[in-house]
Amino acid sequence: MNSIKRVRGKTAALFAALGLWAAAAPAAGAATAYPERPIRLIVPFGAGGTTDILGRVLGQQLGEALKQTVIVENRPGANGNIGSDAVAKAAPDGYTLLFAADATLVINPTLYSQLPFKPESDFAPISRIAVVPLVLVANPAVKADTLPELVKLGGKPDARLDFGSAGAGSMGHLVGERLNRATGMSMTHIPYKSGAQAISDVVSGQIPLLITGLAVAEPFLRDGKLKAIAVTSGQRFPGAPKVPTIAEGGVKDFDSPSWYGLLAPAGTPEPVLEKIHAALTSALQTEDMKKRMVELGAWPVVDTQAAFAELIKADTQRWSQIIQAAGITVQ
């Protein structure tokens, strides 16, 4: 009787092992064959902006690394929410990916009372691909060339320091509010409908200050129509080595660049995610890609999937505190 039980036990274990193998085999096979058809890369903003430009550069390089066509599709609207929602609800098979700016993932959850998707559970983070330093620029007439001088100027009783950004709740807006808290300044935020409109008003002297992407400001800095006070990243940017950081201006540990990353719908098989991550790593390590990124005002960067997920969580908490303290809302 005992021998029969042992045989039955071994048979059950064998069938269980075969069942586990059969369940794992399709996922492994799918990863081996992936990608068998073109991949859609959703950019949740309009054509011509920083997100779109970086997304198209990434799409080309990722396609070459995966040996498959990557089709970049713009799905703008609602500060990136519409395109992001489309990816969140897409089939989790690796053929629809999201190229997201940090604002959509870590700022919008606090700004909006309701989102059609949940950043923490509806996506599988793959990696950041770029870190983009913002820059605090001023009209040349502003009587301050450094951050300490600007802080001193802002402390005068009759001082009125307005700063513009691409809109309420934009990264430029939040960085400005963080700078207010860190320095004791009382810069007043002026929201614009676009970064182009904001930079035009600073150049013309309608407002004195602006926080924007370094690549956006660079032509105006080069022509002397604007002057750079400081970059928001923790280190100087190779494309603008003479511009000091805010930390160098006396605000200890200030490090608030913007970033962009690649995500898939939650539930995408892990082997597929790993294959995309490997291709992404290969693409970002080429000298051409590094050079192109610097030209666009960005550092190429690759995270582990776990590190990227943790960064999204930490940044969401950090910016929610700034948003709530400043009373920032969107209409």
Average confidence score pLDDT of the chain: 89
Per mean pLDDT, which range of 24-28, 118-122, 306-310 is the poorest? 24-28
Q: What is the mean pLDDT of residues 231-252?
A: 94
Q: Which helix (H) or strand (E) holds 171?
A: helix 171-183
Confidence class of residue 4 from pLDDT cuts 50, 70 and 90? very low
User: What pLDDT is attached to residue 330?
Assistant: 77
Angle between helix axes 147-154 and 171-183 (nearest 10 degrees) is 70
Most confident of 5-19, 34-48, 83-97: 83-97
User: What pLDDT is attached to residue 154?
Assistant: 85
What does the pLDDT look like over 170-222, one tens digit per residue?
899 999 999 999 998 989 999 988 778 899 999 999 999 999 988 889 999 99
Most confident of 2-11, 69-78, 186-195: 69-78
User: What pLDDT is attached to residue 168?
Assistant: 87
Q: Residue 23 pLDDT > 70, yes or no?
A: no
Residue 286 neighbours by CB under 8 Å, 6+ apart = 61
Q: Tell me if 257 sits within 8 A of 233, measured CB to CB.
A: yes
User: What pLDDT is attached to residue 7?
Assistant: 45
Confidence class of residue 135 from pLDDT cuts 50, 70 and 90? very high
Q: What is the mean pLDDT of residues 128-135?
A: 94
Q: Residue 3 pLDDT > 80, yes or no?
A: no
Q: What is the mean pLDDT of residues 111-116?
A: 90
Report which DSSP code applies to 244.
Answer: P
Q: Residue 6 pLDDT > 90, yes or no?
A: no
Residue 227 neighbours by CB under 8 Å, 6+ apart = 137, 138, 139, 140, 142, 145, 221
Confidence class of residue 85 from pLDDT cuts 50, 70 and 90? very high
Phi, psi at 177, each rounded to 5°? -65, -35
Phi, psi at 137, each rounded to 5°? -115, 160
